[in-house]
Amino acid sequence: MLNFAKGMLLAAALGLGAQAVAAPTNAELKIGISQEFETMNPLIMSMSASAYMYRLVGRSLVNLTPDGKWVPQLAKEIPSLEKGTAKIIDDGGKKKIVANWEIIEAAKWGDGKPVICQDFITAHTIATAPTVTVGEKEQWTQVEKIDIDPKNPKKCTFKYDKAIWSFYQLAQFFPIPTHLEMPVFQKHGKAKEGYEKNSNYVRNPTNPGLYNGPYVITDVKLGSHVAFAPNKNFYGKQPNIKKIVVKLIPNTGTMEANLRSGTIDMISVLGLDFDQALAFEKKAKAENLPFDVHFVPSVTYEHIDLNLDNPILKDERVRKALLYSINRDDLVKALFEGRQEVALHNISPKDAWFTKDPKVITVYNYSKRTAGKLLDEAGWKMGADGFRSKDGKRLSLVFQTTAGNKTRELVQVYLQNQWKQNGIEVLVKNEPARVFFSETMTKRKFGGLAMFAWVSSPENSPRSTVSTIAIPSQKNSFSGQNFMGWSNKNVDKDLDALDLEFNAAKRITIVHDILKHYTNDVPVLPLYYRSDISVTPKNLKNYKMSGHQFYETNNVEDWNLN
């Protein structure tokens, strides 16, 4: 908070608060973002910043609208069982699905080469390779084979390895330009991470042939900015804005000063911290500033992953004590004025699968007494120094999150104090987002507690974050996002059953059984469901936040500043 205050004093001293900044036009839009991206390669990317920017330059077969409807994007239409464009088959006694996909005729890469079925085959080949690290391998392995119509390279048949109800939800099944990326994979793909390090997305990210969306990347300067220009070969209408620059401002405390000075024109959903947004909203109204502050409830789930390989955290009683020790109701009131909701588990109230029924899930209301009792039972006794110990070892855990994120740092201090009241020592060791996500989390290097957020789409299988096969390791090239290392056989069975259940009501029953185990085992400490926040210039039209993982940049060609 001190740094933020100093930043605002400096802004006032420079006259930035009162300075009249010209409204942005379609000539250029400068967007502030607080998180650096790790790659623009859609097969590899796992950070929110990468996904936010990639939607400016890349498209997939289908998309989920802000209203929660699946619509075709690169595809002409979405195949369905009802229309007969998809069907369930028997393959050696196993039920599978085959679906006919056709890519729209006008779809091209930025260098003019057509987007064809082979580009999806190339993406599938690379993403399923054992040497390539992919965040969610399951979305690729669910497709067993892709066959191309010999008469039309844009018509293909996807054969899925099982009859999965959500077979058409391929919004992250991105194509890769075969003519550019297959030679790289053939040369470097046999070595672990060889493809990732040598991909054109890393070596030559301004090559227009890498992108098929409304924009292409024209300049990349790590730690500074990424610049975008319209893609003349985009299949849709040409975007109105002639240049977009996404500027990295890792310290969220200085974001407002940059907005007021005109260094940036808007702040992305990965920008202001919640307390800053609340304060800025009040100032914008009081000072009649030319900005709109948006708060949109989302499916984003802020939580703390627990590393279950840690001997202390292997004990379920300790994990439950950590959760009972947190007054989350007070946390959201104190830090967010009650405008974000306490999380009960990993599914948000915006999702049809959500439940708060105590007959289904275990609810952990704040109870210092219950927490203390559990720790006593686990053998962690309170010492004269105010901390608990067992066998001469203090109850101490390392707590990590993304450095420079003021909201998370405030939450850390709050939680640290609450745990201290129960004799638990928590040591903060934060890292830049790029390191935290691409190294510490992906390779499970965090020692105890790691705070971050998951963003998904409604009715999305949690397989990539809770299944046993999704635990990252050297054996699977660190693919998967079960960073906790949680393994529950019942959950694994439920995940398989969920994929195969075409009845919506029965799917809810299965999901609720997963939530029963999730809340009982406590591999994660749920904190709160986030609201997405952004700040836009008042003259920006056709801007609509989604509240899920397919960001508003997915409709950037509709934005207009005239």
In a domain, 176, yes or no: yes
213, 231, 255 — which closes off a domain? 213
Residue 250 is predicted with a pLDDT of 87
CATH number of the domain encompassing residue 113: 3.90.76.10
pLDDT computed for residue 14 by the predictor: 34
Q: Residue 139: enclosing H or E segment and its boundaries? A: helix 138-141
Alpha helices in 473-503 (DSSP H): 489-500
DSSP assignments along 10-69, one per residue: HHHHTTTTT--PPPPBTTBEEEEESS--S-S-TTT--SHHHHHHHHHH---SEEE-TTS-
Q: Is the same domain home to 398 and 304? A: yes
d(CA 439, CA 424): 27
Cβ proximity of 407 and 273 under 8 Å: yes
pLDDT at residue 434, rounded to an integer: 86
- pLDDT value, residue 405: 84
Q: Does one domain contain both 200 and 336? A: no
Contact 380, 322 (CB under 8 A): no
The pLDDT score that the predictor gives to residue 9 is 31
pLDDT score, position 136: 77
Domain end: 213, 233, 264, which one?
213
pLDDT value of residue 456: 77
Listing DSSP states for 186-235 in one string gives HHHTTSTTHHHHHSHHHH-TT-GGG--SSEEEEEEETTTEEEEEE-TT-S
pLDDT for res 438: 87
194 and 324 share a domain? no
Domains contained in the chain, number = 2
311 and 208 share one domain:
no
- Same domain for 175 and 318, yes or no, is no
In this structure, are 201 and 308 located in the same domain? no
pTM reported for the whole predicted model: 0.74
Report pLDDT for 116. 98
Range of the domain at 133: 37-213
Burial of 241-261, coded b for 16+ CB within 10 Å and e otherwise, reads beebbbbbbbebbbbbbbbbe
- The set of residues, in sequence order, having a beta carbon less than 8 Å from that of 219 and lying 6+ positions away, is 206, 225, 226, 227
Give the pLDDT of residue 523.
Answer: 98
Q: Which of 245, 216, 209 is nearest to 230 (CA)?
A: 216
The CATH number linked to 499 is 3.10.105.10
pLDDT at 10: 33
Q: Are residues 203 and 319 in the same domain?
A: no
> Using CA atoms, how far apart are residues 399 and 449, in angstroms rounded to an integer?
5
| Phi and psi angles of residue 462, each rounded to the nearest 5 degrees, phi first | -85, 15
Please list the ranges in the chain whose pLDDT falls under 70: 1-20
Whole-number pLDDT of residue 16 = 39
